[in-house]
């Protein structure tokens, strides 16, 4: 369990995949508007939410992430026209499978944040981090192929 | 093995105040393949960039990580610096430790820890970067302007004057837009038509400008430099090549009861009509909903009276497909609907009107021939009340959260014009704040008060109640006197909030241009790139980007034109090299990737493949780098893992995930 | 505890009970323009906000307006900023009532409390609050 050395509190690891055109810019706006959200959230820039391979999310949970959030443009506003629709479908399937495997549905989320929604980005991240705190440390997925070697 | 240099920017105190940059340098230096790490107050400065060149020369760097502001700010700067230093520009990665770290975290320990992790992720990614080489694409030297108001006209004129062909697409039967509906303009009180009409004529006569009125953009494909656009030219039912614009058809038309859109529904027009006298083109259209011939098959009087034989009831919509290098959006605005504001009695009384309706009432070509009168009974008003901020600055769902910007000034204009022409009419303005930032604006407002005796009261109107005698009871507060006042008025004019024209929403989807929650198009950077959309090749002109008055609109239209000209002047554009690439050994030719590609960039070829000594012909995916925009949809869809995205490869992203979760 | 903390506590309570955020007010005065009981009030609806913001709760609690507000909620309906002046005054009313002791009101107690001077709507709104 990731713990703050000084306080002994649970400090989750949260990975946020943000599309370059909307959500990453929304996160930038949250930053320039000084809208705080927990430092536990770390952002990875991807060109589009449809670039997020379910493999990346499994990998994050395997490496000890406590929550993964995917942010993209609002439906209809995708820079590449339809990318966020692919992401939505893929993630619905993946999240349902993860839930089945014991990763609670609250640890995964898809959210649409436009480039103008700094406030929404910040509140989304605050909410999501609060949810992860509430859920506590995650079960760790293991890649048994690696273990047997 | 890469040789990576890490450069940590202080950004003055923007980063250094909440991130211990020295600690970031120290921790980054411990990462594998990092051979150089240093910090500098301003990495984006010339001296900062020189540090990169120096380190490349001295340490033989092959990859660079800059821990600084958002890559949306300075990625290009540092890529160019790397290129000058002799490294492939795509060997640079940015760790965003300002917008995503120092600016949002107050605790220095937290901030530093996060900055270190973000640096590690960027280092892990650069370790797997490979040099990329941009390709080239051609530029179609023609621009499309969507919207034929003053913004669109100005942008088109400026682009055309630079020598490029421009097409204007306007959905109504004439260019001119909102400005054509205005009577006078602030703060000089020029007659709106007198300054607009010459521009309209100039655009129509310009050899480089083609105007498609009564037309709409139906489909847009392609990308910067090479857009393909389908324009639907709606059936006018008139042969424009034959029509002489004599106007006899309009006079003789038997259906005269349609509400005039141009007069904001305050007057009527015939079914065959030109919206206003100075319309360009001066060719009428038949409103098929209202036309008796179209409704019943009988009539046809217009065809009988038309000496030129221009009436064509059989005319059909026409789709025109054109190629453009740049697109300027100038879709403008409309006033919001007032259905949810019952308290102002807009739907109950004809004497409660919006300011745009008052423009038509005041205009000599308007429904009252420019004579100020009550629309209910035609009587001369004794007292007119103006209400400011109707629907503007509202945080509820009834109105708009923004300031519409133009209302304070046009209300001062209206008040002044009324007092000037009819000194007997009493004018009261209820305001929350009077906002007059602009050259000669405050002076103008003060003139309304001091010279024209307009009564300004700070306070909002709570309700307008139509009285049995036909007058209007206005109940309002006077905040400075701390009183509630009840006034008898003959007319109430509502400074109604403006909103982007509803057509902009589907258009933004077609353009894949960002749009905000208020339906204003988002600019690439709020300060530094205010007339460009983040989508390359799309430029913003006028109110579609945010509320503006006419001079600002004209200035922005010119700026958007210059940006479009800058694009059209290029013969070739360098393309984004972060495109998809198929691994021929893994590809099984299943077509899944081609099915998800929004650009049709993937095709299949039968190739001789040498798979570990086995030579055979296989059907494999081939990506057209000129068409691929690098979204990565195919990379996830590919069942065999053959498809990967250069610059955002599976291994690179996984390396970032690993670094963050470490 | 000092007096300052008491007013702070009361101001916080008003925010909590009313669910309104006085900081959203842009001082347009539409509440006062709307209010049917305006003339009867000593502190006017648009002023409620600044009393809460300044922590001037005692003056607000002592004002006539508290008992003149009809709870017709016209100001809430028309406020462009969702500040809810009527809820603020309703909350102030509750603070006064609560300090008198007895946070709860049961239907049996009402007849004894009836005062012909009080607007009926006030009773309804009070009952809605205290019933919880």
Could you report the per-residue pLDDT of B417-475, keeping only the tens digit for each?
Answer: 999 999 999 999 999 999 999 999 999 999 999 999 999 999 999 999 999 999 999 99
**How many separate domains does chain A show?**
1
Determine what percent of chain B is predicted with pLDDT higher than 90: 91
A4 lies in some domain = no
Q: Is B98 on the interface with A (CB under 8 A)?
A: yes
A7 within some domain: no
DSSP annotation string for B315-366: ---EEEEEEESEEEE---EEEPP-TT-GGGTTTT-TTEEEHHHHHHHHSTTS
The residue of chain B with its CA nearest to that of C76 is B396
Instruction: Read off the pLDDT of each residue in B473-480 and give the average, rounded to a whole number.
Output: 96
Q: A141 in a domain, yes or no?
A: yes
Residue C118: per-residue pLDDT: 72
Q: Do B432 and C28 touch (CB under 8 A)?
A: yes
DSSP annotation of B174: S
Distances, alpha carbon A113 to alpha carbons A19, A24, A69, A71, B155, in Å: 9, 9, 12, 6, 31
Contacts of B658 in chain A (CB under 8 A): 59, 63
pLDDT exceeds 60 at position C132: no
C68 touches chain B (CB under 8 A): no
Helix (H) or strand (E) holding A1: none
% of chain B at pLDDT higher than 70: 100
Chains in contact with C, counting 3 or more C-beta pairs less than 8 Å apart as contact? B
- Write the residue in B343, B393, B484 that is nearest to C32 by C-beta: B484
SS3 readout for chain C: CCHHHHHHHHHHHHHHHHCCCHHHCCCCCHHHHHCCCHHHCCCCHHHHHHHHHCCCHHHHHHCCHHHHCCCCCHHHHHCCCCCCHHHHHHHHHHHHHHHCCCCCCCHHHHHHHCCCCCCHHHHHHHHHHHCC
Cβ-based contacts of A15 with chain B (< 8 Å):
657, 660-661
Contact of C24 with chain B, judged by CB distance below 8 Å, is answered with yes
Kindly report the average pLDDT of chain B as a whole number.
95
CATH number for C65: 1.10.1060
Structural domain total, chain C: 1
| pLDDT confidence tier of residue C130, bands split at 50, 70 and 90 | low
Is the residue at A6 inside a domain? Answer: no
Q: pLDDT tens for residues C117-126?
A: 777 777 777 6
**Which tens digit of pLDDT belongs to each residue from A68-116?**
999 999 987 888 888 999 999 999 999 999 999 889 999 999 999 999 8
Tokens representing A38 are 């927990």
Which residue in B561, B569, B454, B551 sits closest to B159, CA to CA? B561
| A–B interface: beta-carbon pairs under 8 A | 158
Structure tokens at B508: 């933004």
CB-count exposure of residue C113 (10 Å: 0-12, 13-18, 19+) = exposed
- pTM for this structure? 0.84
**How close A40 gets to chain B, by Cα (Å)?**
8
Residue percentage of chain A with pLDDT more than 90 = 74
CA B235/CA B232 separation, integer angstroms: 9
Domains of chain B: residue spans and CATH: 4-126 (3.40.50), 142-234+317-332+501-568 (3.50.50.60), 248-305 (no CATH), 336-499 (3.50.50.60), 580-646 (3.30.70.3270)
Note whether residue A108 is domain-resident.
yes
Beta carbons within 10 angstroms of residue B297's beta carbon: 9
Q: The domain containing residue A44 runs over which residues?
A: 14-148
Question: C10 falls in which pLDDT band (50, 70, 90)?
Answer: confident
Provide, as residue numbers in chain B, all residues whose Cβ is less than 8 Å from the Cβ of C81.
393-396
- Residue C38 touches partner B, C-beta closer than 8 Å: yes
The pLDDT value given to residue B405: 96
C interface mutation test: which of B462, B478, B479, B492 has the most C CBs within 10 A? Answer: B462
Please report the ipTM that was assigned to this predicted complex.
Answer: 0.94
A111: domain CATH number is 3.40.50
Q: What is the pLDDT of residue B548?
A: 96
Residue A33 corresponds to which tokens in the numbers above? 């508007």
pLDDT over 70 at B342, yes or no: yes
Query: Per-residue pLDDT tens for B527-571?
Result: 888 999 988 899 999 999 999 999 999 999 999 999 999 999 999
**Nearest Cα residue to C35 out of C95, C5, C81, C77:** C77
Tell me the pLDDT tens digit for each residue of B300-341.
999 999 999 999 999 999 999 999 999 999 999 999 999 999
Give the confidence band of A142 by pLDDT, cuts at 50, 70, 90: confident
Nearest CA in chain B to C81: B395
Task: Give how far B496 is from chain C: nearest CA, Å.
Answer: 14
Q: Provide, as residue numbers in chain C, all residues whose Cβ is less than 8 Å from the Cβ of B460.
A: 28-30, 33
B483: which strand partners? Answer: B478
pLDDT, averaged across chain C: 83
Residues of chain B contacting residue C26, judged by C-beta atoms under 8 Å apart: 393, 432
**483-542 in chain B: CB under 8 A from chain A:** 508-509, 512, 514-517, 522, 534-535
List C-alpha distances in Å: A6 to A9, A10, B114, B462, B555: 8, 11, 16, 57, 57
- Segments forming the whole domain that contains residue C32: 3-130
- List the single residue in A27, A52, A114 with the smallest CB-CB distance to B100: A27
How far off is chain C from B43, nearest CA to CA, in Å? 40
Res. C1: pLDDT tops 50: no
B63 DSSP β-pair partners: B4
How close, in Å, is residue A88 to chain B by CA atoms? 12
């Amino acid at each position: 369990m990731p713990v703050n050395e000084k306080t002994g509190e649970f400090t989750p690891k949260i990975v946020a995949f943000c599309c370059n055109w909307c959500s990453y810019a929304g996160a930038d706006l949250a930053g320039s508007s000084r809208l705080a959200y927990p430092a536990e959230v770390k952002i990875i820039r991807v060109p589009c939410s449809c670039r997020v391979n379910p493999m990346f999310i499994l990998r994050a949970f395997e490496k000890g992430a406590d929550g993964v959030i995917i942010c993209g443009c609002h439906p209809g506003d995708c820079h590449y026209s339809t990318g966020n629709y692919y992401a939505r479908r893929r993630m619905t399937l993946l999240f349902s499978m993860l839930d089945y495997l014991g990763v609670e549905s609250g640890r995964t989320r898809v959210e649409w944040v436009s480039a103008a929604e700094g406030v929404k980005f910040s509140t989304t991240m605050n909410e999501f981090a609060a949810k992860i705190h509430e859920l506590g440390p995650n079960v760790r997925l293991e890649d048994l192929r690696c273990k047997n070697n | 093995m890469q040789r990576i240099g890490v450069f940590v920017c202080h950004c003055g105190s923007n980063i250094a105040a909440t991130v211990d940059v020295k600690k970031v340098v120290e921790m980054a230096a411990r990462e594998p393949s990092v051979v150089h790490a240093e910090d500098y107050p301003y990495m984006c400065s010339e001296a900062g960039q020189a540090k990169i060149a120096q380190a490349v020369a001295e340490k033989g760097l092959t990859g660079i990580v800059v821990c600084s502001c958002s890559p949306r700010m300075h990625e290009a700067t540092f890529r160019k610096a790397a290129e000058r230093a002799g490294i492939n520009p795509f060997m640079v990665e940015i760790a965003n430790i300002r917008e995503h770290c120092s600016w949002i975290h107050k605790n220095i320990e937290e901030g530093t820890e996060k900055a270190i992790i973000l640096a590690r992720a960027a280092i892990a990614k650069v370790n797997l970067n490979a040099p990329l080489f941009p390709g080239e694409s051609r530029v179609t030297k023609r621009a499309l302007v969507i919207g034929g108001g003053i913004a669109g006209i100005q942008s088109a004129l400026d682009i055309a004057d630079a020598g490029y062909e421009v097409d204007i697409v306007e959905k109504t039967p004439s260019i001119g837009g909102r400005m054509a509906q205005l009577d006078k303009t602030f703060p000089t009180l020029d007659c709106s038509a007198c300054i607009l009409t010459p521009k309209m004529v100039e655009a129509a006569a310009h050899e480089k400008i083609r105007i498609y009125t009564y037309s709409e953009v139906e489909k847009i494909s392609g990308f910067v430099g090479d857009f393909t656009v389908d324009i639907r030219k709606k059936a006018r039912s008139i042969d424009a090549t034959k029509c002489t614009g004599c106007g006899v058809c309009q006079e003789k038309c038997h259906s005269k009861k349609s509400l005039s859109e141009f007069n904001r529904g305050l007057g009527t027009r015939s079914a065959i009509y030109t919206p206003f006298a100075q319309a360009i083109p001066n060719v009428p259209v038949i409103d098929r909903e209202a036309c008796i011939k179209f409704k019943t098959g009988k009539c046809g009087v217009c065809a009988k009276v038309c000496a030129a034989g221009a009436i064509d009831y059989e005319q059909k919509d026409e789709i025109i497909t054109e190629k453009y290098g740049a697109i300027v959006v100038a879709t403008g605005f409309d006033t919001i609907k007032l259905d949810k504001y019952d308290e102002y009695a807009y739907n109950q009384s004809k004497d409660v009107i919006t300011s745009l309706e008052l423009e038509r009432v005041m205009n000599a070509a308007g429904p009252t021939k420019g004579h100020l009168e009550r629309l209910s009974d035609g009587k001369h008003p004794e007292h007119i009340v103006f209400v400011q901020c109707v629907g503007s600055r509202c945080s509820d769902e009834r109105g708009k959260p923004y300031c519409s910007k133009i209302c304070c000034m046009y209300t001062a204009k209206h008040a002044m014009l009324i007092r000037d022409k009819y000194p007997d009419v009493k004018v009261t303005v209820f305001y929350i704040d009077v906002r007059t930032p602009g050259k000669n604006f405050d002076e103008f407002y003060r003139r309304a008060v001091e010279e024209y005796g307009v009564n300004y009261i700070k306070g909002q109107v709570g309700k307008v109640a139509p009285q049995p005698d036909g007058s209007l009871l206005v109940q309002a507060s006077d905040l400075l006197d701390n009183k509630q006042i009840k006034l008898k008025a003959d007319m109430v004019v509502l400074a109604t909030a403006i909103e982007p024209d509803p057509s902009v929403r589907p258009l933004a989807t077609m353009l894949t241009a960002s749009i905000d929650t208020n339906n204003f198009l988002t600019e690439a950077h709020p300060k530094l790139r205010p007339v460009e959309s983040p989508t390359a090749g799309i430029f913003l002109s006028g109110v579609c980007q945010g509320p503006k008055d006419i001079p600002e609109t004209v200035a922005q239209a010119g700026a958007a034109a210059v940006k479009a000209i800058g694009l059209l002047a290029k013969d070739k554009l360098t393309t984004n090299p972060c495109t998809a690439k198929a691994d021929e050994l893994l590809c099984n030719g299943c077509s899944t990737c081609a099915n998800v590609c929004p650009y049709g960039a993937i095709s299949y070829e039968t190739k001789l493949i040498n798979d570990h000594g086995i030579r055979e012909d296989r059907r494999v995916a081939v990506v057209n780098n000129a068409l691929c925009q690098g979204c990565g949809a195919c990379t996830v869809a590919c069942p065999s893992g053959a498809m990967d995205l250069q610059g955002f490869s599976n291994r690179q992203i996984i390396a970032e995930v690993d670094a963050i979760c470490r | 505890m000092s007096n300052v903390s008491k007013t702070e506590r009361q101001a916080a309570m008003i925010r909590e009970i009313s669910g309104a955020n006085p900081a959203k007010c842009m001082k347009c005065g539409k509440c006062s323009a709307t209010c049917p009981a305006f003339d009867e009030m000593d502190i006017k609806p648009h002023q409620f906000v600044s009393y809460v913001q300044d922590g001037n709760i005692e003056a607000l609690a002592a004002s006539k307006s508290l008992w003149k507000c009809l709870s017709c909620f016209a100001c809430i309906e028309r406020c462009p900023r969702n500040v809810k002046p009527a809820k603020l005054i309703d909350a102030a009313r509750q603070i006064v009532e609560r300090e008198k002791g007895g946070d709860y009101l049961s239907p049996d107690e009402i007849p004894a409390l009836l005062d012909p001077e009080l607007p009926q709507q006030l009773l309804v709104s009070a009952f809605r609050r205290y019933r919880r």
